[in-house]
């Protein structure tokens, strides 16, 4: 087959006229940091998820950090999470002095296996952080039942889950906190950014304080006409607020996410159809329960040849790829610090050697997917 001239990236944000218009309007408005547009963006997430509150932040990582702080997570606490996730979660747990307890995944979906959680719960367990991997909803009924039985917090890692529904409920709609990411490869982007959704009004207050220096009132109210510019600080906080100029981008993207996800789903459908039955390639599996997949990523597992070799060959065909994720229990500091239960993750280990994320983004064309599939078939045929 003919090799394409231009590089096909693994991901690319879709930024159109409406994004440029909203951002420009904000830039010209005289107020570009946290203000009314952040509130409007937060309201969109309340509407989407059915949660009672939403707090915008400058990354999902920052959101996870202040969420763990708001839950008073401290040394001695244990938090259950899959190892197959982005390192930021484990970093945030470690930075609170707590211990991540890794639970194995389901090889097909790469989601935490909820049937393995209970045996990992101890007197020190405080929370479960499931990840809706690649936009596949985790089995929330099982997780919610365990959380109730053992009085544990649940924080949904919804970084991949804009447009993910489990039994008719959007991620973030289960009554406990969820955290979304707007990093540029995500289903919508603000450049960098995140959103916490939750139902607890007291916790919302705490999060707003921690997000912005511990200052009680929003800057835009302090600096508005007749506003009182003085402030007090009840608890020391961080600087994790989202600026309005990014919320403007997010608001424009929120108008378009249904179209983005439809496109992602259509393209994933072509991958599934064209790559089916190839020996040495395992395709992503979808859960049996009622759900809507957000198709944030399309992750295949390659055993037909060595993954590094496979990646090099994709490069030869001018195709980009991603690796989601090097499992966190194999990261250097994690291995050194947390030595237990690491050998008990056979499915994570099995998947980790083989996973690779193929290009998938809303402006990708059907013929790009067909090109990738053809290239993969040729790579495998030629060994």
Query: What is the contact surface with ligand PLP in residues (CB under 6 A)?
Result: 59-61, 85-86, 88-89, 131, 157, 159-160, 181, 183, 194
- 311 Cβ neighbours under 8 A, 6+ residues apart: 321, 356
3-state secondary structure labels for all residues of 51-97: CCEEEEECCHHHHHHHHHHHCCCCCCCEEEEECCCCHHHHHHHHHCC
Cβ closer to ligand PLP: 131 or 380?
A: 131
The full DSSP string for 300-339 is EEE-SS-HHHHHHHHHHTTB--B-----GGGSHHHHHH--
Instruction: Give the total residue count for the chain.
Output: 383
Q: Is the peptide bond before 18 cis (omega within 30 degrees of 0)?
A: no
Distance of CA 227 to the CA centre of its chain: 37
Cβ closer to ligand PLP: 85 or 111?
A: 85
- The answer to whether the CB of 84 falls within 8 A of the CB of 109 is no
User: Measured from the CB of residue 62, what is the shortest distance to ligand PLP in angstroms?
Assistant: 7
For 284, the token pair is 């992503």
User: Measured from the CB of residue 296, what is the shortest distance to ligand PLP in angstroms?
Assistant: 8
User: Measured from the CB of residue 79, what is the shortest distance to ligand PLP in angstroms?
Assistant: 14
H-helix or E-strand containing 156? Answer: strand 156-157
| Residues designated catalytic | 186
Cβ closer to ligand PLP: 160 or 264?
A: 160
User: Measured from the CB of residue 178, what is the shortest distance to ligand PLP in angstroms?
Assistant: 11
Cβ closer to ligand PLP: 184 or 214?
A: 184
Cβ closer to ligand PLP: 181 or 253?
A: 181
Spatial distance between the Cα atoms of 38 and 107, rounded to a whole number of angstroms: 38
């Amino acid at each position: 087959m003919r090799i394409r001239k231009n590089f096909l990236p693994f991901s690319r944000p879709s930024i159109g006229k409406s994004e440029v218009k909203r951002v420009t309007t904000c830039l010209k408005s005289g107020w570009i940091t946290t203000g009314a547009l952040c509130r409007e963006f937060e309201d969109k997430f309340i509407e989407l998820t059915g949660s009672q509150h939403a707090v915008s932040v400058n990354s999902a990582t920052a959101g996870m950090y202040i969420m763990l702080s708001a839950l008073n997570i401290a040394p001695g606490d244990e938090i259950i999470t899959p190892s197959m996730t982005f390192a930021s979660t484990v970093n945030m747990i470690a930075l609170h002095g707590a211990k991540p307890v890794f639970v194995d995944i389901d090889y097909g979906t790469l989601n935490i296996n909820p049937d393995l959680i209970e045996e990992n719960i101890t007197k020190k367990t405080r929370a479960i952080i499931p990840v809706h991997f690649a936009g596949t909803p985790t089995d929330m009924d099982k997780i919610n039942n365990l959380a109730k039985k053992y009085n544990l917090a649940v924080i949904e890692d919804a970084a991949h889950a804009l447009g993910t529904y489990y039994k008719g409920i959007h991620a973030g709609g289960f009554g406990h906190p969820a955290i979304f990411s707007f990093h540029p490869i995500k289903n919508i982007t603000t450049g960098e950014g995140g959103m916490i959704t939750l139902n607890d009004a007291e916790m919302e207050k705490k999060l707003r304080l921690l997000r912005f220096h511990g200052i009680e009132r929003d800057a835009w109210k302090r600096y508005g006409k007749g506003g009182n510019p003085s402030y007090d600080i009840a608890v020391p906080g961080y600087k994790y607020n989202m600026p309005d100029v990014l919320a403007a981008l997010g608001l424009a993207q929120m108008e378009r996410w249904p179209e983005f996800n439809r496109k992602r789903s259509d393209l994933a459908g072509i991958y599934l159809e064209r790559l089916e039955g190839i020996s040495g390639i395992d395709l992503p599996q979808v859960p049996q329960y009622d759900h809507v997949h957000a198709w944030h990523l399309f992750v295949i597992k390659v055993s037909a040849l060595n993954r590094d070799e496979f990646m090099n060959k994709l490069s030869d065909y001018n195709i980009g790829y991603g690796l989601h994720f090097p499992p966190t229990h194999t990261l250097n500091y994690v291995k050194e610090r947390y030595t237990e239960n690491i050998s008990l993750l056979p499915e994570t280990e099995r998947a980790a050697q083989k996973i690779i994320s193929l290009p998938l983004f809303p402006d990708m064309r059907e013929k790009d997917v067909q090109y990738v599939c053809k290239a993969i078939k040729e790579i495998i045929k030629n060994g």
